Amino acid sequence: AKLPASVQVEDIIQNGMLGLLDAINRYEEGLGAQFETYAVQRIRGAMLDGLRENDWLPRSLRRDMRRIEAAVHLLEQQHGRHPSERELAESLGLPLADYQHMLQEARGYQLVYFEDFAGDGEDDYLERHITLEGNDPLTLLLEGNMRDVLIKAIDDLPDREKTVMGLYYEQDMNLREIGEVLGVSESRVCQLHSQAIARLRSRISGAIQVAPKVKGEGKARGRRPAAAS
């Protein structure tokens, strides 16, 4: 529902069918995962891989957003609170206006990839969990503490950013409508949304990096699928 109008539903379905065929070819019995569990992740991953191949966000800007996430994490650790926009801009060595422009350009940066949450030399997030019977990634997210981490991260957002997220995702309002509610421009709402996403991604990524690994006897093989936030 939140994808650009340029994305065709038929293309997503076609990518999903390719993911199903890939799951059929790659699935190996005895690894502990039911075929349905494995196939769902491959189908979803293929759909999101298709979106990523036609990514509307340039790699340079994706790299910049990861710099912002790193700055958010560092400043939170240093000050024990959410950093302000000005503090983040200074940390990145940017004028405030350039930092805000970067946030505005990052509209659509709400895709989260499992590979973002793997450290150097580690198996990816899905491969660490898919082989445990009954413990597909969605189940682990809902049953583990990651859901609590996300809830806490949303609750801890600065008030205006939390309001933007609630109006956008719960009330299904567009950026223009949210701007009218808050009394700001549509571009300013876009900046607040991108900054909130950066804060959430930083918090979730940090929580996954410090969480204990769950190990299985084997692991699924193949491309690394992605997830959406």
Query: What is each CA distance from 207 to 47, 56, 98, 144, 147, in whole angstroms?
Result: 26, 28, 29, 11, 11
Q: Which two tokens stand for residue 37?
A: 């569990």
Classify strands 226-228 and 111-113 as parallel, antiparallel or unpaired: antiparallel
How many helices (H) and strands (E) are present in the chain, helices listed first?
A: 11, 2
214 phi, psi to nearest 5 deg: -105, 120
Asked if the model's pLDDT at residue 13 lies above 80, the reply is yes
Asked if the model's pLDDT at residue 213 lies above 50, the reply is no
Q: 216: pLDDT confidence band, cut at 50, 70 and 90?
A: very low
Give the pLDDT of residue 126. Answer: 46
d(CA 101, CA 118): 29
Report d(CA 25, CA 22) in Å as an integer: 5
Is this model's pTM higher than 0.85 or not? no
- What whole-number distance in Å separates Cα of residue 106 and Cα of residue 59? 11
pLDDT, residue 109, reads 57
Phi, psi of 133 (to 5 degrees): -60, 130
Domains, the chain, ordered by start? 1-55 (no CATH), 57-117+136-208 (1.20.140)
Looking at the chain, the whole-number percentage of residues with pLDDT higher than 90 is: 24
- Render pLDDT for 166-205 as a digit per residue (tens, 0 to 9): 998 888 888 899 999 999 999 999 899 989 988 988 887 7
